[in-house]
Structure 1
Amino acid sequence: MTTSHKTAPSRRRSRGVPPQRRGGSRRASRGSGGRTRARTALIVALSLLVLGTAGVGWLYLKLNGNINTFGADGLSDDRPDAGSSKGENVLVIGSDARVGGNDALGGGSKDDIGRSDTAFLLHVYADHQHALAVSIPRDTLVTIPPCKLPDGSWTEAQPNTMFNAAYSVGGTAEGNPACSQNTVEQLTGLRVDHTVVVDFKGFAALTDVVGGVPVCVPQDVYQKDLNPNRATRGSVLFTKGEQTVAGQKALDWVRIRHGIGDGSDIGRIKRQQAFVASLIKQVKADGLTPGKLLPLADAATKSLTVDPGLGSADKLLSFALSLKNVDLHNTKFVTIPWRYQGARVAIVEPDASELWAALRADRTIDGKDAGGKKGKKSKAGASPSPDTGLGKGIDVSVYNGTTTLGLATRGAATLTGRGFTVTSTGNAGSQNHATTVIQYGPGRQDQAETVAKLFPGAELQALTGPGINVVLGEDFVAAPDAASAEPTSMPTSAAAEARSADDDLCTNLSYG
């Protein structure tokens, strides 16, 4: 800086600038000093900017390095249309895989097959002011569609199988989130936009970073309640009443299913819903300041496995920020309509179909339209509404190939909602069809392929006789596609049990 200051006058004189008077020179000197200080401040500011940018870059590299993704090649080719709902659907899976040090928190062996301990489908309404999480009990009987195995081959559909078995397809320690996503899409008829898997370590770390999560314990809980294989009751893990839990303690609390209520997974789901609601409340209360956000992002990304669409820090951050306007009261939790079937959980119809239809139509718990701008017709004329003229001029007969009552009626509604003419409905000759079959007579293959667009995974079968028959299998039980032909109000069985994120901690905590 000093050298520059001394040589400045000589440069001015060499260009023919007359020498200044002494007083003016002093003024120039003071001005040069001001410019020097300004230049110094500018250099310092630029240095800080560079350092800050480098820090952000380092942070993004660090966060990106934390994130694991699963391959999109395991996703089904027969997926619901991207416009199957106005909002966005995110499948959240709590994995009890023991790899990566999770065996230290959850017990068991790191070589155990990965399983899904809990799962819910989060529907973010298009107005980005409402959200609904639908819990799917792990013992729910569903049809697991064809899924990809580690050797590249694909399984056959597995009807009447527990939902959490989808995550275990392939028998790997890491699990199979793509198969779980395929199963949820088959079950709901909704496009799953993203899937997020959180393991034990990630869950425990998140609760530590937020300083613990307030919970309400309805009764004293003992070691045997967490581990029913113990010979004795053991010591108290949780005392009755409100308290704050974090880390291992928080993990133990959400995993307990015995000793509270009827000891079922349904009761545990209610406590998990209350816990997630409390966690959301805690995060919102703290505010997403850099001091809070960065440790939270670091803890979250270290133990997340996500689909490729969320496989970078900026994508995850963008999605998280899209939820900032969803307030606590408009954040709801429900469980898929269910009933016991022996020791397992069966889906109740038509309630479940009405629930998925309501989400497709972006209807809230109280029946309001939360479609927002995403549901409106764009300037280019595009619209997510279904093509009601798809089946114009095509007549179809529909038969129920399962023991599920009313399936042919819902299948017919799926077809008439897209413009097909249903000439008859009834029961098929046998009720043990795992997969939907579309039968077609001579010259009707093209029309049969059009019908197949509404029944992902259906088999085409040529007939010697005329016409087109749809024989519905178990894979259709909860996956109708005609949103326009279905009710759009939330079923009472789901709405009556809904929990809001701002509900009192101690309400509606157990079943049985």
Structure 2
Amino acid sequence: MTGHRRGSIPSGTHQRAQARGRPSRTKKRRHSRVRIVAWTTAGVLGLTATAGGVVYWRLNGNITTFDGDAVSTDRPDAARPDAQGRTPANVLLIGSDSRGGGNSDLGGGNEGGARSDTTILLHIYADHKHATGISIPRDSLVDIPPCKLPSGKWTKPQSNVMINSAFAVGDTEEGNPACTQNAVEKLTGLRIDHTIVVNFAGFAEMTGAIGGVDICMPKDVYEGDLNPNLGRKGKLLFPKGRQKVSGQAALDYVRIRHGLGDGSDIGRTKRQQAFMSALIKEVKSRGMNPTALLPLADAATRSLTVDPGLGSAQKLLSFALSLKDIDLHDMKFLTVPWRYEGPRVALVKPDVDQLWAALKADRTIDGQDAGVSTASAAAEPSAPPAPPAETPAGAAPDGTGVKVGVYNGTTATGLAAKAATTLKAAKYTVTTTGTAAARDRTGTLVRYGPGEKAKAQQVATLFPGATLEASSRAGISLVLGKDYAAVNGGSAETTTPASPATPAPLPTSATQDARSADDDPCANLSYG
């Protein structure tokens, strides 16, 4: 009889165990390993999902929104989509030196209230491959329309006052972002889609979250340059040349103005534009994805105030990711055309009006059209027709709380108003009615943003034959086609609609000192 090693299973025993239907020890160990791997994998996935949920929950808890009802009802029209259904966006960026919380320790002063020392209108072009940030000096003289006070009352309009005074209306530590938005809309004639306010603490934490930002100083800078009331030179804050800063040092850099150039706020604006360029470059180098953006978002949102349309972590990250295709060279910064008027700043006409007109026409600062014209869109091969929208079974749609923009994609008249009546009867909120950029659409289309397909399907049930189309931009738009006109009695226009006039070329007063985000950080740092 052949012997066997101690601890091994005789072959006959193994065969008998299998014959009786019991698993062998080897098979048990294999199944045990499989179970361990399966449970470990499930645990990791569960923890990852839970961690992601916790992060989003924490970010949502950080975000503060201002009162949307404080935005004026007398507003410019929303931008119309181009021939591909893409819409430009205008975002108002406000730097607040609120004295509340820990901001006074970072340079906010000791008195109460809040001011806006930085105001930038960021225009994101319809192609989402170009953007221009326009700095409006804090001492610019503008007209401020009625603004809502904390008491609920509205102020009287003001004329020829500094734009940073709009943020101080109501005299609260939080400031009044809606009033600044109202003032910028009145000044530019452009509808502001989103407003974002960052205070000192948020700014300092953001720079720390990404490991610092590269800057350049044209000369040595001392404590006395930052605070002229110090009465002495003080210690060295920044040596001449390139360096990386974060936290308090980054804040000091964007606030300093004395001892550099002509010591004006205009010169400081140039350095702020250089800093913004370097900040964008640093963020993009780390990757425009949720993993890279979440630490920055966590730092920023703790001191961020936004409009209700950006009031969640998902909306903020979605907005940030929508900018990922903008090349650094196509991200421009410039200062609105200006001149001194005594100690204040006057905006130069007609130069400033030409600037706003160019943005309204979605033209870049070098005069290029960033949208897609109807003619060029017609020359492109047509995409296969989208499948008809599925009609969810059940009761008639209830549009309570759902906002829809309505656009007439044909040459027939009166369609947008008729479709708006249909939507309102189903309790939808119609945000705008207008004419689409392309007016030769055959079929009616419902375009929807991330997570809004179910709502879009409900809208489509009111317009038989409508198709659905996903978009990277939030919101629902209804674009009416000839099929809707055929059954709704639209009147055909007897004349060809006039093409919008091409705006005048941008003045060199606005473009000569424009900065690209990829420019040398040591160039164009001051005025004078």
With the shorter chain as reference, the TM-score category is 0.7 to 0.9
- When structure 1 is superposed on structure 2, of 112-121 and 40-49 the one drifting more is 40-49
C-alpha displacement at 1:52, in angstroms? 1.5
- Aligned partner letter, 1:167: F
- Give how far 1:23 is off: 5.0
Please tell me whether residue 501 in structure 1 is matched to residue 517 in structure 2. yes
Secondary structure of the structure 2 residue equivalent to 1:484? coil
Q: Is the 8 A contact 1:354 1:486 kept in 2?
A: no
Deviation at residue 225 of structure 1 after TM alignment: 1.6
Name the amino acid aligned to 2:518: D
3-state SS of 1:205 partner: helix
Alignment correspondent of 1:340: 340
Within 5 A, what are the aligned runs for 1:362-401? Answer: 362-371=362-371
Q: What letter is aligned with 1:99?
A: G
Q: Which of 334-343 and 365-374 deviates more?
A: 365-374
Q: How does 1:57-456 map to 2 (within 5 A)?
A: 57-83=53-79, 86-109=87-110, 111-288=111-288, 292-371=292-371
Amino acid corresponding to residue 90 of structure 2 in structure 1: N
Shift in Å, 1:63: 0.7
Distance 1:27 1:489 in 2: 86
Amino acid at match of 2:34: A
- 1:388–1:210 CA distance, 2 compared to 1 (3 A): farther
Cα separation, 2, equivalents of 1:290 and 1:361: 32
Q: Secondary structure at the match of 1:261?
A: coil
Q: Which residue of 1 aligns with 2:449?
A: none
Residue identity opposite 1:65 in structure 2? G
1:463-482 pair list within 5 angstroms: none
Residues 301/162 of structure 1: CA separation in 2 closer, same or farther (3 Å cut): same
Asked if the contact 1:195/1:307 (under 8 Å) is kept, the reply is yes
Q: Are positions 1:51 and 2:27 aligned together? A: no
Partners of 1:269 and 1:131 lie apart in 2 by 18
User: How many angstroms apart in 2 are the aligned matches of 1:267 and 1:506?
Assistant: 14
Letter in 2 for 1:113: G
Residues 214-237 of structure 1, C-alpha deviations (whole Å, 9 max, x = no match): 111111222222112222232322
CA RMSD of aligned residues (A): 3.0
1:290 CA drift (Å) = 6.2
The whole-number CA distance in structure 2 between the counterparts of 1:185 and 1:371 is 22
Q: Does 1:38 align with 2:39?
A: no
Displacement of 1:349: 1.3
Q: Deviations over 1:69-102 (max 9, x none)?
A: 1110110001111226841111000000011211
Deviation at 1:506, TM superposition (A): 1.1
Deviation at 1:366, TM superposition (A): 1.6
User: Quick one: distance in 1 between partners of 2:178 and 2:318?
Assistant: 23
Cα 1:357–1:383 shift into 2, 3 Å? farther
Q: Distance in 1 between matches of 2:502 and 2:145?
A: 24
Deviation at 1:300, TM superposition (A): 1.0
Structure 1: which amino acid aligns with 2:221? Answer: V
Structure 2 match to 1:402: none
CA contact (8 A) 2:290 2:317 kept: no
The answer to whether residue 485 in structure 2 is matched with residue 484 in structure 1 is no
Match of 1:476 in 2: none
CA apart distance, 1:37: 3.6
How many angstroms apart in 2 are the aligned matches of 1:388 and 1:350? 36
Q: Contact 2:338–2:347 at 8 Å: present in 1 too?
A: yes
Equivalent AA in structure 2 for residue 46 of structure 1 = A
The CA distance in 2 between the partners of 1:42 and 1:483, in whole Å, is 63
In structure 2, distance between residues paired with 1:237 and 1:347: 34
**Secondary structure of 2:43's match?**
helix
Q: 2-side partners of 1:185 and 1:388: how far apart? A: 31
Per the TM alignment, residue 41 of structure 1 is displaced from its structure 2 partner at its CA by 2.5
8 Å CA contact 1:198–1:303 kept in 2: the answer is yes
1:119-138: per-residue Cα shift (whole Å, max 9, x none)? 10111111111110000000
Count of matched residue pairs: 401
The 1:84/1:114 distance shift into structure 2, 3 A limit, reads farther
Normalised to the residue count of structure 2, the TM-score between the two structures is: 0.70
State whether residues 213 and 282 of structure 1, in contact with CA within 8 Å, keep that contact through their aligned partners in structure 2: yes
TM-score by length of 1: 0.73
Q: Deviations over 1:335-392 (max 9, x none)?
A: 111111111111111111111111112111222221259997999996599x9999xx
TM-superposed CA distance for 1:282, in Å, is: 1.3
Q: Report the CA distance shift for 1:289/1:486 in structure 2 as closer, same or farther (over 3 A).
A: closer
Which runs of no fewer than 5 residues in structure 2 stay unpaired? 1-14, 82-86, 387-404, 415-497
1:231-262 Cα shifts (integer Å, max 9, x gaps): 22323222211111111111011001111111
Cα distance between partner residues in 2 of 1:74 and 1:361: 28
Shift of 1:53: 1.2
Kept in 1: contact 2:361–2:503 (CA 8 A): no
> Gaps spanning 5+ residues in structure 1: where?
1-19, 391-481
- Kindly tell me: are residues 256 and 124 of structure 1, through their superposed partners in 2, closer, same or farther at Cα, counting changes over 3 Å? same
Shift of 1:67: 0.7
Taking a change above 3 Å as real, the CA distance of residues 388 and 201 of structure 1, as seen in their structure-2 partners, is farther
Distance 2:310 2:326 in 1: 20
